[in-house]
Structure 1
Amino acid sequence: MIKPRPRNVELKCVFWDNKKHVFSSDGCKWAGPSKEGRCTCDHLSSFALLLSKEPLDVPGLTYLTYAALSLSVLSLIVTLVIELIVWSDVVKTSTLYLRHTAHVNICLCLLIGNLCFLASSSNPENISDLWCRTSAVLKHFCYLAMFFWTFCLSATLLHQAVFLFHKVSKANYLRFSLVVGYAIPLIIVFVTFLTCNGGAEGVYYLEKTCWLVYGGLFKGTFYTFIIPVGAIVFINVFSMLVVIMKLISHHSEIHQKTDISPEKEKAAAKTVVRSIILLTPIFAYAFEYIFTVLNGFQGFFILLTTCFLDRMDKQKRSPVKYTYISIKCSIVYC
């Protein structure tokens, strides 16, 4: 109990069973990470606190992570190439410009973050300290920037839903997005890096993971990532609910001014609600696999939602239609 418990290592409270001549955990319970040295048992015997020799490992999770991220990297590259090819043909209005600009930057940030993850996660103990620190900084910045760009996208959707026919100039949107999407994450990473002894190992990042430090409840640099991301996810869900309510309550007005039928609006709203339910975290053992699949295949989901499943008629595009598609994309990103 002198040294801190390694990550992913489980403690078990046991007693010596004189009849079976083995250690048994029957009637004993570990108090948890907050009280690591305490065991609660309902009988008297000779007790011990055993520590696993190896970290706990979910079967096949590592291979699933590498496979999912590899496919995502390829999908993101394909998405960026497609965006580059069709950019001049699709970006003809302010609405299209706002949407595709956000998608390109989201793909770019996620691509760089995933490449750094793949390059530093196989054998982090064997890579240099400089690259491990650089990888941690790049992942910290890129993943934060990706979520802040989803916030830019959701803010645009909310503005379009509330002020349906109010146009936003490309210059104003680009300035807003660059400040929110890149400047704010850069400030967060820069301040965190400086306040952690210049990115020192064990303070800013861990050598075993090349990622931020988690030291317990609200301890460590991990919370400089999870708190902004949690706030953005909350705001995105709130914006999405406002957009859904706006579309449902004003479907007759929108139908009179656009070419969208009320049935299509209700179907789109149902799709969004169904997506929320399906993506709600399931706190079970299977959550490890679900979390890995949903996050690892993000790049592939982006390729599907932004390119292959975008079947809207180029001659009949409208802000409301893009609101439907972009809401679903924002849910996938979250």
Structure 2
Amino acid sequence: MVVKQTNTSEYVSFTLDTVEGQVFMVGPKVTLDKIPRLDTTDSSVDIDLIGIAKNNNETRSAAVAFMSYNTMENLLKPDFFNASNYTIKTMMSTVISATLPKTTNTKLTKPVNFTLRHIREFDPSGSLFCVYWNISEWIVDGCSVLKTTSSYTVCSCDHLSTFALIMQTSHPPKSDSLMELVNLVCVIVGLVFFSLALLTFALCQWSPGVNNVARINICISLLLAHLLFLLTQQFLSLIRPLQVLCAVISGLLHFLFLSGFVWMFIEAVLLFICVKNLSQISSKKREVLSSGFLCVIGYLVALVVVCVSVGLVPEGYGSEDCWIKKEKGFIWSFLGPVCVILALNIIFFIRIVITLNSTLKNLNAEVSQMKQTKIMAFKTLAQFVVLGCSWILGFFTNGSKVLEILFLILNSQQGTFIFLIYCVLNNEVRQQYRNFFRCLCCGRKKH
């Protein structure tokens, strides 16, 4: 038997596949002033066991058994909580139990406090209830919420039993089928233009001074991110119950979107170097940074941010939409680096404009090179506005339907803007398109 008589105090802990527990016993010669808190992985209890032992006049001893069950919520479901029928009930903690074995007088001298860690994402708009199991249902009688945060809740009860924490939320609004259709169409169109831009970068001949490595990797990162996001939203009902898969997907999305911003910053740096080299004829055509080095930087920075985020807040991934959770400000693991990159890009663009103006006054030759650089600066600035400002707009939606639609269109059409800016508006590329379609039409006529 785990519980046995003792003169002072004794502690036993055990862990099984489905249950984790602790037993604490005190005897007539106990020297403790206060019973230490009993802990399991997701819960803890504070109980006045010494006061209970003093009320047992014969033995002057008492014992408490505290257990946490990993899968009990599958049997004692939150639906057995008979609150409003027009709400959603969610089990927010593991099911726990506390008993006083081999204790004659089990009357509590003080209320017992349980600390329950939230095992699911906390909804600030929901109502939390500390409940206990009574024969066939969860009820609230004798239990109340003392304190709650986004990660845990403290319950106080005037009796011992089997307990849990249940959150009650209103039914989510009916899905907007029009918004879902617009989202689907916009993302698919954006993916098509990302693919066309990649094909153009890969197959068309470009001027010797044009470095497309940053643009190619921007397209790759954002193409994969939007494709993964689209597939996740289409199969969300199947993915959401698989919490590990949902967390992995949100981590991948974090990495891919962040990589797109890092590559955008790299392109601004390359443009700045190009502008600086305009006044240094000898270094104009020199390769400043190798493509391999740029690829390492472009993806390593995003990978480091994601790894640090996982190390600091491992439960931060896997929201209801399989994206980054907003609790504990974890969303800033994405927004923080994005804001830093946007701020640095603004600084680089200011420097580029100043340098271009200065060079234009002093440079008499290489007019074509100057013109090409000015066009590239304009295109990079346009790309910065398109890729960066769409995410900034997301800060200000606040439930506004118009802003949500605008954010959806701008964010999903990043591939379209890149294709227009770098492909359609490029004279050399347009000429190669004409030659391709001319050959295609001639080939059909011959047949």
Please say whether Structure 1 and Structure 2 have the same fold, judged by a TM-score greater than 0.5.
yes
Distance in 2 between residues matched to 1:62 and 1:52, nearest whole Å: 22
> Is residue 125–residue 207 contact of structure 1 (8 Å, CA) maintained in 2?
no
C-alpha deviation, 1:270, in angstroms: 12
- Residue 404 (structure 2) aligns with: 288
Whole-angstrom CA distance in 2 between matches of 1:10 and 1:299? 39
Map of 1:133 onto structure 2? 247
Q: How far 1:250 moved relative to its partner?
A: 3.4
- The 1:247/1:269 distance shift into structure 2, 3 A limit, reads farther
Q: Residues 250-289 of structure 1: matches in 2 within 5 Å?
A: 250-254=359-363, 256-259=365-368, 283=396, 285=400, 286-289=402-405
Distance 1:179 1:169, change over 3 A: farther
**Which AA in structure 2 matches 1:69?**
V
Paired letter, 1:259? S
Pairing 1:228–2:337 present: yes
Whichever residue aligns with residue 75 of structure 1, its letter is F
Equivalent AA in structure 2 for residue 147 of structure 1:
F
Q: 1-side partners of 2:313 and 2:258: how far apart?
A: 18
- 1:52: Cα distance to partner? 5.6
Extract structure 1 runs of 4+ deviating beyond 6 A.
2-5, 56-59, 268-271
Change (3 A) 1:187 1:279: closer
CA contact (8 A) 2:248 2:318 kept: no
Q: Paired residue for 1:212, among 316, 324, 331?
A: 324
Query: Larger RCO: Structure 1 or Structure 2 (Cα < 8 Å, ≥ 6 residues apart)?
Result: 1
CA-CA distance at 1:246 after TM superposition: 2.3
Matched with 2:233 is 121
Residues 1:126 and 1:313: Cα distance change in structure 2 (over 3 Å): closer
Provide the residue aligned with 2:259 in structure 1.
145
Once the two structures are TM-superposed, the CA of residue 167 in structure 1 deviates from its matched residue by 4.1
Deviation per CA, 1:13-45: give whole Å up to 9, x if none.
xxxxxxxxxxxxxxxxxxxxx9xxxxxxxxxxx
> Contact 1:102/1:149 (CA < 8 Å) preserved in 2?
yes
Query: Structure 2 length as normaliser, TM-score?
Result: 0.49
Residues 159 and 10 (structure 1 numbering): CA distance in 2 closer, same or farther, change over 3 Å? farther
Contact 1:248 1:265 survives alignment (8 Å): no
What do residues 177-221 of structure 1 show as CA deviations (whole Å, max 9, x unaligned)? 123201111112122223334xxxxx22225211111115xx22x
Work out whether 1:156 is the aligned partner of 2:270.
Answer: yes
Task: Confirm or deny: 8 A CA contact 1:125 1:208 kept in the other structure.
Answer: no
What value does the CA root-mean-square deviation take over the aligned residues?
Answer: 4.0
Counterpart of 1:158 in 2: which secondary structure? helix
Measured after TM superposition, the shift of residue 83 of structure 1 is 2.1
Where does residue 305 of structure 2 map in the other structure?
188
CA–CA distance in structure 2, aligned partners of residues 147 and 137 of structure 1: 16
CA shift, 1:272, in A, is: 5.5
Matched, 1:66 2:184: yes
Query: What does residue 240 of structure 1 align with?
Result: 349
1:80 pairs with 2:194 = no
Query: 1:83 and 1:259, CA in 2 relative to 1: closer, same or farther beyond 3 A?
Result: closer
Partner residue in 1 for 2:419: 303
| 8 Å contact from structure 1 (residues 255, 261) kept in 2 | no
Greater share of helix residues, 1 or 2? 1
Q: Tell me if structure 2 keeps the 8 A contact 1:113–1:139.
A: yes
How far does residue 10 in structure 1 lie from its aligned partner after superposition? Answer: 10
Consecutive unaligned residues in structure 2, runs of 5 or more:
1-89, 93-120, 128-149, 151-168, 431-447
Percent identity of equivalent pairs = 22
Q: Classify 1:248/1:62 alpha carbon distance in 2 versus 1 (closer, same or farther; 3 Å).
A: farther
- Aligned partner letter, 2:192: L
Is 1:174–2:291 an aligned residue pair? Answer: yes
Q: Which amino acid aligns with 1:120?
A: T
Q: Secondary structure at the match of 1:71?
A: helix
Provide the residue aligned with 1:109 in structure 2: 221
Distance of aligned partners of 1:147 and 1:168 in 2 relative to their CA distance in 1, 3 Å threshold: farther
Question: What is the TM-score when the length of structure 1 is the normalising length?
Answer: 0.64
Cα pair distance change 1:214/1:312, threshold 3 Å: same
Residue 291 of structure 1 deviates from its aligned partner by 1.6
From the superposition, tell whether residues 305 and 270 of structure 1 become closer, same or farther in structure 2 (CA, over 3 Å). closer
246-255 or 291-300, which deviates more: 246-255
| d(CA) in 2 for partners of 1:117, 1:143 | 10
For 2:201, give the aligned amino acid. E
| 1:292 positional shift | 1.5
